[in-house]
A and B are shown apart, each in its own frame.
Chain A
């Protein structure tokens, strides 16, 4: 399964969807890291994520760290209620840049 990606200004937007669990998070991780390794700024769209577990969160943490090391921009967009609950439990809701929409990043 390949998650859809699109270009929005300087950002590559990776749109995760469905259940991002141990079965699917390796694919999410692969795509997020791949774009960052190609020196692209990355936004991860979580608006269609119905479930995310600690392996999915770990993929986001890896992306965030790689972006920081490469001086690239990385952020989350459209974080679903479910995903926000898990981010808050991991106390990552105040660590990741989080905005409602891609356009919010484009205008900031």
Chain B
């Protein structure tokens, strides 16, 4: 059963990131995640929003939809955008032994979250990113 905790649209812009982080932090704390897990979720959402701003919208105006819920044993974050669909196969972390700026966001998300899944939006435009953090301490990273 899904328990929706937060649903809000944001302007896809760097100055919105602090507000998004604060809302995610408060919602994760309300759900009972440990301090370390809260930091991991906040970091992952921030990185995902950055990717939407920079790589989906290419710094042009757009919408980011943020939907947070708990489902069974998971804290679930769904981010949606209205940009041109991206090929999920092309969204991968770069090798960390390459010292160069950029390309770390996907690595951060995959390290911090228990599940990271990209989907094309059903309407044929936009993208959906689903990230899960298991609420059980035994199962979660």
A residues adjacent to B (C-beta < 8 A): 19, 21-23, 51, 53-55, 57-59, 61-62, 64-65, 82, 85-86, 89-91, 95
Q: When the two chains form their complex, are residues A55 and B107 in contact, meaning their CB atoms are under 8 A apart?
A: no
| Bound: A57/B100 CA distance, A | 10
Q: When the two chains form their complex, are residues A22 and B17 in contact, meaning their CB atoms are under 8 A apart?
A: yes
Nearest neighbor of A57 in chain B, beta-carbon distance? B104
Nearest neighbor of A54 in chain B, beta-carbon distance? B104
Residues of B within 8 A of A51 (CB): 21
Q: Which of B18, B54, B100, B104 has the most CB of A within 10 A?
A: B104
B residues adjacent to A (C-beta < 8 A): 14-15, 17-18, 21, 39, 43, 46-47, 50, 53-54, 96, 99-102, 104-105, 107-108, 111-112
10 contacts between A and B (CB under 8 A): A21-B18, A23-B14, A23-B17, A53-B17, A53-B50, A61-B100, A62-B101, A65-B99, A89-B108, A91-B96
| Bound: A51/B39 CA distance, A | 10
Residues of B within 8 A of A65 (CB): 99-101
| Bound: A86/B104 CA distance, A | 10
Residues of A within 8 A of B47 (CB): 53-54
Q: A57-B104, A58-B101, A61-B99 are in contact. Are A89 and B111 (CB under 8 A)?
A: yes
| B64 shortest CB reach to chain A, Å | 13
Interface of B is mostly: helix
Residues of B within 8 A of A59 (CB): 101
Nearest neighbor of A25 in chain B, beta-carbon distance? B14
| Bound: A59/B54 CA distance, A | 16
| Bound: A53/B18 CA distance, A | 11
Q: When the two chains form their complex, are residues B50 and A19 in contact, meaning their CB atoms are under 8 A apart?
A: no
| Bound: A28/B39 CA distance, A | 23
| Bound: A64/B111 CA distance, A | 24
What would 13 more interface pairs be, CB under 8 Å, given A53-B46, A89-B111? A19-B21, A21-B46, A22-B14, A23-B17, A53-B47, A54-B50, A54-B104, A54-B105, A61-B100, A82-B39, A86-B108, A90-B96, A90-B104
